[in-house]
Structure 1
Amino acid sequence: MNILLLGSGGRESAFAWKMSQSEQCSKLFIAPGNGGTAAYGKNVNLNPNDFEAIKKFALAEDINMVVVGPEEPLVRGIHDFFVEDEQLAHIPVIGPKKEGAILEGSKDFSKEFMARHGIPTPGSKSFTNETLQEGLAYLENHSLPVVLKADGLAAGKGVLICETTADAQSELQLMLGGKFGTAGSLVVIEEYLTGIELSVFVLTDGDHYVILPEAKDYKKIGQGDSGLNTGGMGSVSPVPFADEKFLKEVEDTIIIPTINGLKKDNIDYTGFIFFGLFKVGDKPMIIEYNCRMGDPETESVIPRVENDLVELFVATSQKRLKDIELVINPKSAATVMIVAGGYPGDYEKGKAITGIENIRKSLAFHAGTTQESGVIKSNGGRVLAVTSVQDNMFEALQSATADAARIYFDGKYFREDIGFDLM
């Protein structure tokens, strides 16, 4: 099959690496891809949100399947675009239609969905500019800290944790005043949870699902989980505190009600669902859905999946996931993200990267890189994800950290303590 993979980050690098190993994949195109994905297929200079250009390319290259990595094309309706175009309708798209992607595209919708289907989640209430005064009054009596979330997509920056009522009231006014653009025209005020975070992923054909390995990612820029939030500084899989009993409870109280809820609401959902969870005491609670795989969690999860990924996607598109038995490598995976100096604030691009060939026990999944005249250069905040799969978590963390140190570019930074809180 000829497959088009949309996206350019570390998640797409991991997908491309895995999909290129499939005997069912004759040609793999990555749009736009990055400095490393050309090792697994052909990079194509296409914007994943330019549906007309994607249509032209898909027809010209006889594409048999489209796999969507990032959330924005899904929220904008790329799957619907294919289904509604008679020239494209025969091409399966891995990723939900717009009505399913709204689980990520609207925090307010997802909270209403959880409440409607009895899925355990922290209490919340939503406000707009018209109800600003009610929102300010609501915050007056709210427990602290309190979480404020922009309703729409805000490039991972639309969630704020406020420690004081005054800060929360000020941020609510700023968010409704355009701090996150139209994404913040509706703001969800949510109860703050005390617990430990993890991510669980399923691939579903709308009727059946397979549960992929769970993972835990690390959002803070600094050692010891300090400093500003980022898109993710690393991840580990499996998660030691998520034992069989806990994961069974996740399936029974969150995954199954979600799949059944989508069916009850007549939402035809094909693709990944990311469950952002908290373990509160011994109980799981969901704080968010994503309509795609996480990044950098994908870089730890996909190397542990032993099945042919293209075969999984074909079964998903044909609604026969029930026939697939997922095989998971029992080893541990650890991912260390190398970022540009200054990230998540202002950072420089175009720094020449050396030493990737020196890594010993890891995979290097490119994220923000480009290749110019054979030289790999930095081209984003998160530059490379270094993943090691070893017999145990300690060895995986040690190998990934040591190999991250073997790669060099000017201003490079990475955390040396990913996963150490779990040891």
Structure 2
Amino acid sequence: MKILLIGSGGREHAFAWKITQSTHCEELYIAPGNAGTSTLGENVSIEVNDFEKLGSFCLKKAINLVVVGPEEPLVRGIRDYFEASDELKDILLVGPGRLGAQLEGSKDFSKQFMARHGIPTAAYQSFTKETLEEGLSYIRQQTLPIVLKADGLAAGKGVLICNDFDEACAEFEEMLLKGKFGTASQKVVIEEFLTGIELSVFVALDGSDYVILPEAKDYKRIGDNDSGPNTGGMGAVSPVPFADEAFMQKVRDNVVLPTLLGLRKDNIPYQGFIFIGLMNKAGDPYVIEYNVRMGDPETQAVLPRIKSDFVELLSSIATSTLCQYTLGINPFTAATVVMVAGGYPDAYEKGKHIQGLEESSQTESWVFHAGTSTDESGVVLTNGGRVLGITGKGEEMQDAISNAYARVNQIQWDGVYYRKDIGQDILQVIK
């Protein structure tokens, strides 16, 4: 197959790495890609939301399969664009249409969907600038802490957890009146705070059937011990020890199946991945959020654990034949540490020379590029907030964590930062 992979982050590098292991991959193009993906296929200088150029490229190269990595082109309707074209409509595509993508594109939409279909989630109400006073009053009626969520896409940073009422009211006003998260916070969801342990469950959907992929736990805050502001993700581990068969059966029965049936009932076609952010609350799963694609950096910990052919999985999603696909899982554990630019998630500098990327004697790890580029001489430079994701593998979780950090310690650039505690909470659970 000739495959076009859309995106430029760590998730897309991991996808490219897995896709090129398949005998079904004849040619791989990545738009726009990064320094890492350029070693696996051909990077194409087309932005993820330029549907016209992406479509023209698919026709020029006779692309058979399009795989959409990030959420924004999905929310903007890339599938709808392809399906509306007589020339493009027969190209296989992994990713939901605009309507299904609203499960991530609008927190209010997703909460209404969950309420409508009896999917366990936190209590909530949504407010706009016009209902500001009602929202302030609602905040005062809640139990601390209080969760505020920007309704729209905010690059993983639109969630605030406030520990007192004055802080919550001030942040609520800043989101609605001052556009703290731009147009994403034109509507704000005020949500009950759930206590428990978070995990991410990834599901492949083809409209009729589903396959649950290996679960993961990610680390969203910038600082050790989950301190500081939210980021797009600072690390991940897979598997998650408390996600045993009994818990995962609850996830299937109470979350995954009702989601699939809800999509059908609401006449929302869905062929793609859905990432379900869950809270394990006293042994029961509650949905924190839906994402309509694979997670980043969780993908870098999940994909190495998939033993079966990944292109066959992608093709099965796009052709609604998941019932014929058998998922194989490698028995090892994986841990991913994200290395970021100094200052992230706030202002940061680009263009720093990354040292230590050469082949290493440390073979129990992989380096996935996220925010990277190359200069004219081929030197790899930082080109984003999250720069690299280093994934270690091991028979036990401690081994995977140690192998990840061993490789992290071999890589350097001016201002590099990473969390030192990825997976430590999981080790405490195992003990």
Structure-1 residue corresponding to 2:172: 172
Partner of 2:132: 132
Please report how far the alpha carbon of residue 80 of structure 1 lies from its aligned counterpart in structure 2 after TM superposition: 0.6
Q: CA deviation at 1:67?
A: 0.2
Match among 405, 420, 423 for residue 419 of structure 1? 423
Residue correspondence of structure 1 range 28-177 to structure 2 within 5 A: 28-177=28-177
CA distance in 1, matches of 2:92, 2:359: 39
SS at match of 2:293: coil
* Partner Cα separation in structure 2 for residue 139 and residue 398 of structure 1: 43
Whether 1:368 aligns to 2:371 is: yes
Aligned-residue sequence identity (percent) comes to: 59
Relative to the length of structure 1, the TM-score reads: 0.98
What aligned pairs does 1:251-290 form with structure 2 within 5 A after superposition? 251-290=252-291
Residue by residue over 1:328-372, the C-alpha shift from the partner in whole angstroms, topping out at 9 and shown as x without a partner, is 111100111111112122211111112112531211000010012
Matches within 5 A, 1:320-359: 320-359=321-360
In terms of mean alpha carbon deviation, does 350-359 or 117-126 score higher?
A: 350-359
Q: In the alignment, which residue of structure 2 is the partner of 1:408?
A: 412
Q: In 2, Cα distance between the equivalents of 1:162 and 1:338?
A: 27
The one-letter code of the counterpart of 1:168 is A
Does the Cα contact within 8 Å between 2:305 and 2:330 map onto a contact in 1?
yes
Which whole-Å CA distance do the structure 2 matches of 1:65 and 1:209 have between them? 20
CA–CA distance in structure 1, aligned partners of residues 159 and 224 of structure 2: 21
- 1:358–1:407 Cα contact (<8 Å) kept: no
1:278-300 alpha-carbon deviations (Å, 9 max, x no partner): 01111110010000010000000
- Pairing 1:176-325 to 2, within 5 Å after superposition: 176-177=176-177, 178-325=179-326
Q: Which 10-residue stretch deviates more, 181-190 or 64-73?
A: 181-190
Separation in 2, partners of 1:394, 1:196 = 19
**Structure-2 residue corresponding to 1:390:** 394
Contact 2:159 2:230 in 1 (8 A): no
How far off is 1:171 after superposition? 1.6
Report how far residue 225 of structure 1 moved: 2.0
Kept after mapping to 1: 8 A contact 2:2/2:27: yes
Task: Tell me the TM-score normalised to structure 2 length.
Answer: 0.97
SS in 2 for 1:364: strand
> For 1:366 and 1:183, how far apart are their aligned partners in 2?
27
User: Which amino acid counterpart does residue 201 of structure 1 have in structure 2?
Assistant: F
Give the structure 2 partner of residue 3 of structure 1.
3
| 8 Å contact from structure 1 (residues 205, 319) kept in 2 | yes
Cα distance between partner residues in 2 of 1:72 and 1:338:
23
How far residue 224 of structure 1 moved from its aligned partner, in angstroms, is 2.1
Post-superposition shift, 1:175?
1.1
Counterpart of 1:211, as a letter, is I
8 Å Cα contact 1:7/1:30 also seen in 2: yes
* Aligned pairs, number: 423
Structure 1: any 5+ residue segments left out of the alignment?
none
> Cα distance, 1:93 vs. partner?
1.0
Q: Deviations over 1:108-158 (max 9, x none)?
A: 010010000000000001111111111111112111111111111112121
- Unpaired runs of at least 5, structure 2: none
Identify which range, 224-233 or 319-328, moves more after superposition. 224-233
1:399 corresponding residue in structure 2: 403
Q: Distance in 1 between matches of 2:214 and 2:128?
A: 38
Measure the CA separation in 2 of the matches of 1:221 and 1:134: 32
Aligned AA (2:298) = E
Q: Distance in 1 between matches of 2:23 and 2:359?
A: 29
Question: What amino acid sits opposite 2:368 in the alignment?
Answer: F
Letter in 2 for 1:62: A
